Amino acid sequence: MSDIETLEPAAAEGAARKTLTEALLYLDGVTVTFDGFRALNALSFTIDPGEMRAIIGPNGAGKTTMMDVITGKTRPDKGDVFFDGGTTDLTKLDETQIVTLGIGRKFQKPTVFESHTVLDNLRLALKGQRRALPNIFRRETAAARERIDEIFETIKLTEHRGRLGGALSHGQKQWLEIGMLLAQDPRLLLVDEPVAGMTDAETAQTAELLREINANGHSVVVVEHDMTFVRDLGVRVLCLHEGSVLAEGTLDQVSANERVIEVYLGR
């Protein structure tokens, strides 16, 4: 192990880094320390405009911490985090400003309003979106109704809109929450372990849903442990380990990497 445990990890095999001005999201040398423990260790990677990327890696690799840094929840000790071709330094903004910029995040547990209808959940998410819907219009505009219909089509909950949020299955709640994120029309969606606890059928539908969202022009970063799901996504994969990039490439390339097998897939 000793030759591997350098403080500044070498660039991972297969890494395809864009320049600052080409990248939608640009992380360079990002380090986060909690009480002397390096959760992120000189983490560097880029996401292209319009790209969907899957992020894998063992428990404690720093995947959620990476999302915390992008969304302004955690400040890095060191390193650069830029959005939109280097125009915006995310480390200088707070969480609300980052949401307003167009970075939406879905946490692992669904947080829909259980005692509101599915439709009202989505309405509330749209109302919270001041850019898209001027507050002076108290009544729902035709545009807002159209947008709601569109989102229900995408998340396949059209026929469930009258039910209470709490009556949905776990998978349906996750889709509703993804729909509520879409109401913000984010340029980049960060999704942490969306298929944990889902049935196989729900997992397959979630891959299809994220592919559709990505095809509609939203960039997506999705963290998952479920390799069937990651295969269904059919996108480039980044494997994190001990807070840095261990390998990057297609799922086949990454899963053939000896160190990835050693620290993650082979367990």
Site residues (vs Mg ion, CB under 5 A)? 63-64
Joined tokens for residue 189: 């969606």
Q: Which does 104 bind (CB under 5 to 8 A by kind): Mg ion, ligand ATP, none?
A: none
Binding mask 26-65 for ligand ATP (x = CB under 6 A): --------x----x-----------------x-xxxxxxx
- Separation of first and last alpha carbons in the chain: 18
Q: Which does 81 bind (CB under 5 to 8 A by kind): Mg ion, ligand ATP, none?
A: none
Q: How many CA atoms lie within 13 A of 210 on its CB side?
A: 32
CB of 144 to ligand ATP, least distance (A): 35
Closest to ligand ATP by CB, 3 vs 37, is: 37
Q: b/e per residue, 10-22, with b = 16+ CB within 10 A? A: eebbbeebbeeee
Per CB under 6 A, 76 contacts ligand ATP: no
232 with 198: CB under 8 angstroms?
A: no
**Edge-to-edge strand list for the sheet holding 244-249:** 103-106, 188-192, 219-223, 52-56, 236-241, 244-249
CB of 163 to ligand ATP, least distance (A): 30
Per CB under 6 A, 137 contacts ligand ATP: no
Per CB under 6 A, 71 contacts ligand ATP: no
Q: Which of 105, 121, 197 is nearest to 165 (CA)?
A: 121
Q: For binding to ligand ATP (CB under 6 A), which residues are involved?
A: 34, 39, 57, 59-65
